[in-house]
Amino acid sequence: MSEKLNKLKEAIAEVADLNRAAALLGWDQQVNMPAAGAEARGRQLGTLGKIAQEKFISDEIGKLLEDLKQEFSDADFDDAAMIRVTARNYDKAKRVPPEFVAEQALVSSKAFEAWVQAKGMSDFSIFAPHLEKVVELVHKYISFFPPADHPYDTLLDDFEPGMKTAEVQAIFDALRPKQVQLIKAIKASRQVKDDFLHKKYNEKKLMDFGVDVITKYGYDWSRGRQDKAPHPFETSFSVNDVRITTRYEADNPMAMLFSTLHESGHAMYEQGINPAFERTALAGGTSLAVHESQSRMWENLVGRSLPFWEHFFPAFKKTFPSQLDGVSVKSFYKAVNKVEPSLIRVNADEATYNLHIMLRLELEIAMVERKVAIKDLPELWNTKMHEYLGITPPNSARGVLQDIHWSGGAIGYFSTYALGNLVSAQLWEKINKDIRGLEDQIRRGNFSELLAWLRKNIHQYGQKYDPQVLVERVTGSKITAEPYVRYLTKKYSEIYGL
């Protein structure tokens, strides 16, 4: 038996090496590659992906998995989990014909180009015929799998293994009215002043400050690095090489700082996974939502908290004395938490962000259920924006065309962002029960006990537990909206005096 297990591990390790190599090619493309190198890089990524796929869905691996599944049934045993997750991935990969993967790549590539053009010209009609094709392929993709409770389940499962559409809808249904109500109350209150955040901040100093913060957080620089890239992201090539990127936006300088905190949360998750899981299906975070819970926790629950700024504000003010002249820590804290319904998801604050997601989820489900015509999406978008946030996009570029996801066929992805917010607050309540005086620790710039808790309860397990299983193991319940509502209500009641 152990011989079969070793054989499986060896075969999977090769596939993992190919995927990690591809990840490096992707990182380099964002960070270093001269634009002229794109065509060759695309071919190289295509070849690596094709070979990894061929090797993964080999009959040899299929046979090994069949035999091994019989033997390993104890679900709390690492090898059993590894076999279970590998078998699930294998089954998914086997169901999707290579010709479909090739067709999808082609359609996505054209849809992406059309989306860039459509967004630039703010003309949805340019993108619409491509989105039609993307959605047709999504239907085809769903058809490769056994019928689920809801066709959207198949899509969601790729990002949140084991999660059901009905579960997400129930969570969001509980959340929506609370957030809408909160925003209304905030809108009726005295507004927060944040003009000093939009002055000119020196890029290098801002970047260095972010580096200092995440060093205190516990991001391990001996196993990573930060570079500049057009978009902030985290990627890893092993548990010992986990990199992040950041960017400077002249009209929104604080985004550089908070995106560094955000990506460091993803990175610390990856750095904390059991090294024994390397080159197996258990390497990497367990789902997008759980990953996002880590990034959001370090960005928001820690990085936008008052104790955090009580620690860091004096140094920050010393770094930017003219910009912050006369600004108190309290008013700075309020400013970085200013709530303002806005059109663009990626710039949304904590109180409004989830509503952007809910809108997208509803539209995606309507597309999958064929209950909306593609051409009607812009209007439906605008109607919902008004309903949830009280504002209406002036054009499609700042409305339905703002996100890249659909052009790449990534339908089923968005809700993980909101779920991540919920999980972060759910974990936070448990953490504050387990760690006495966490606020004081943060006020002293001490994050070690927090990181150790996350390492022990979340990070180390990698993909051993599915997201709902993991969250329930740790907090006693599956993903729920209540802690996040409590968190938002408390925080914004104080800030806005509700």
Please name which of 196, 156, 206, 180 lies closest in space to residue 386, comparing C-alpha atoms. Answer: 180
Residue 28 interacts with a second copy (CB under 8 A): yes or no: yes
Q: What angle do CA 430, 433, 434 make, to 5 degrees?
A: 90
Residue 99 interacts with a second copy (CB under 8 A): yes or no: no
Nearer to a second copy, 44 or 202 (CB): 44
- The 8-class DSSP code of residue 238 comes to E
Please name which of 435, 433, 432 lies closest in space to residue 448, comparing C-alpha atoms. Answer: 435
Residue 25 interacts with a second copy (CB under 8 A): yes or no: yes
Distances from the Cα of 455 to the Cα of 14, 71, 111, angstroms: 27, 30, 40
Of 161-169, 218-226, 260-268, 394-402: span binding a second copy (CB under 8 A): 218-226
Q: How far apart are CA 127 and CA 375, in angstroms?
A: 10
Of 34-42, 125-133, 296-304, 416-424: span binding a second copy (CB under 8 A): 34-42
Catalytic choice (160, 167, 234, 263): 263
Residue 44 interacts with a second copy (CB under 8 A): yes or no: yes
Choosing from 117, 184, 221, 494, the residue that interacts with a second copy (CB under 8 A) is: 221
Q: How far apart are CA 122 and CA 409, in angstroms?
A: 20
Nearer to a second copy, 16 or 289 (CB): 16
Choosing from 4, 7, 9, 41, the residue that interacts with a second copy (CB under 8 A) is: 41
Query: How is residue 285 written in tokens?
Result: 């975070």
Distances from the Cα of 163 to the Cα of 16, 51, 414, 469, angstroms: 25, 30, 14, 10
Query: How is residue 198 written in tokens?
Result: 């939009």
Nearer to a second copy, 107 or 242 (CB): 242
Residue 459 interacts with a second copy (CB under 8 A): yes or no: no
Choosing from 8, 12, 48, 410, the residue that interacts with a second copy (CB under 8 A) is: 48
Nearer to a second copy, 240 or 477 (CB): 240
Residue 51 interacts with a second copy (CB under 8 A): yes or no: yes
Residue 32 interacts with a second copy (CB under 8 A): yes or no: yes
Smallest separation, CB 212 to a second copy (Å)? 19
Distances from the Cα of 249 to the Cα of 244, 252, 328, 357, 404, angstroms: 17, 5, 24, 23, 19
Nearer to a second copy, 24 or 116 (CB): 24
Is 263 considered catalytic here? yes
Choosing from 53, 58, 189, 238, the residue that interacts with a second copy (CB under 8 A) is: 238
Residue 35 interacts with a second copy (CB under 8 A): yes or no: yes
Residue 13 interacts with a second copy (CB under 8 A): yes or no: yes
Nearer to a second copy, 243 or 311 (CB): 243
Residue 109 interacts with a second copy (CB under 8 A): yes or no: no
Burial 360-370 (b: 16+ CB within 10 A, else e): bbbbbbebbee
Choosing from 94, 193, 225, 456, the residue that interacts with a second copy (CB under 8 A) is: 225
Beta-bridge partner residues of 228: 246
Q: Which bin fits 338, alpha (ψ -120 to 50), beta or left (φ > 0)?
A: beta
Pick out residues in 272-331 that bind a second copy (CB under 8 A).
278-279
Spatial strand order in the sheet of 241-246: 224-228, 241-246, 234-238
Residues whose CB is less than 8 angstroms from the CB of residue 120 and which lie 6 or more positions away in sequence, other chains included: 397
Query: How is residue 495 written in tokens?
Result: 């800030």
Q: What are phi and psi of 238, to 5 degrees?
A: 180, 170
Choosing from 5, 11, 21, 116, the residue that interacts with a second copy (CB under 8 A) is: 21
Nearer to a second copy, 18 or 471 (CB): 18
The residues of the shown chain that bind a second copy, judged by CB under 8 A, are 13-14, 17-18, 20-22, 24-25, 28, 32-37, 39-41, 43-44, 46-48, 50-51, 221-225, 227, 237-241, 278-279
Residues annotated as catalytic (active site), given as ranges: 263
